Structure 1
Amino acid sequence: MTVRIAVVDDHPVFRLGMSALLSTLDGIEVAVDASSAAEAAALVTGDVDVVLMDLELGDGSGVEATRELLARYPGLKVLMVTMHEDDDSIAASMRAGARGYLVKGAGPEEVERAVRAVAHGEVILGAAVASRALGMMAASRTLPPAVFPELTEREREVLDLIAAGHDNTTISRRLVLSPKTVRNHTSNILTKLGVADRSAAIVRARDAGLG
């Protein structure tokens, strides 16, 4: 069975190089070549098996694009490809539903192994990040489900970081969201909690055990 691939990356040299590499592999077909989140949304369909998704796209976050694609096509397998190896990026990618995480410095054999593994339903992490990811997941904590049920899961994550004293820039980096998206979430949080400003939200959040 042929594995149909979508390559989504805003760097043309990397995107074209990756497409060329994958096209030489037996049983793999590059079906979609997209340079942005908007193009991915328009071109990726349920006929695609695996999406190689850049973490940081020119018009948005690869994490958000992954979440939106999987909401439409739950059967998609997403392999996040990025320069970053930090724990926050790994966590955000996996929370969005990515099945794998590969650094852009990976060699051709590692790329092929990752694509085939993800296509067959495995979860794969590049060797450089696997041990840290396992430690991070073992140490991760979940927010109490009864806290602020009027908020979405993402809004509760943002509020937790606000309560911990982080500014929007840090929250944007940690959750791999655009600054505009963080501002929108913050505005929604203030409205839903019925508070006037960020300071009041922090008080409410800390009283509830967040932060």
Structure 2
Amino acid sequence: MLELSLLSGNEEFKKTAIQMIRRELENNVSVDEELHLAQVSDYSLGKERLIPYLGEGSAGIALTLFEFNKIAQSFNSAADQKLIENLCNVDETYCSYSSGITRGIAGFIILENAKKELGLIDDYNLSTLRNYLMTYKDHTIISPGNYGYRCSMDLFTGNSGLILTLSDLDTGSWNGWLPIIPGSLSNLFGENKES
């Protein structure tokens, strides 16, 4: 909705997007002040679970807030900056059930790419990848996919997404994994700021 407001010039879309993200933050984000960690709470299984991932979790909310910071000055308060910092701390997670983007370690690499682009970290921590990848016939590296059932080559759970994520390490960006043709949406992930 926020990007749609940029493309259309409709300020009502921006207001709606801000209301939506604020409601999401108030209702679904748990902050542990002692650990300096914020995570998305999920109740779909009848009890609270904390979700750190890019898909449906803290890493995804952190990336969304990075974009809100660029476009909506109202997200530059000290409280919002502290929340973003606490959300970003999930990239220290060493427990994940796959190497994929949406619910795996690659999503945390995307978050680290974004943090490096914004000057929030100096270097990457890629050592956890060795827990999730396998070698095949000496030279091929494969991703076991979700739950390790089978090798995966797709964007969200397998090698394709992981390769795009890792290729972003050299480009200074974090969104190479997004299936968007460059230049197709001129303002998407741009540097626009409200005045």
Asked if TM exceeds 0.5, the reply is no
Q: Identify the structure with the greater helix proportion.
A: 1
- TM-score class normalised by the smaller sequence: under 0.3
Please say which structure displays the higher CA radius of gyration: 1
TM-score by length of 1: 0.23
Q: Identify the structure with the greater strand proportion.
A: 1
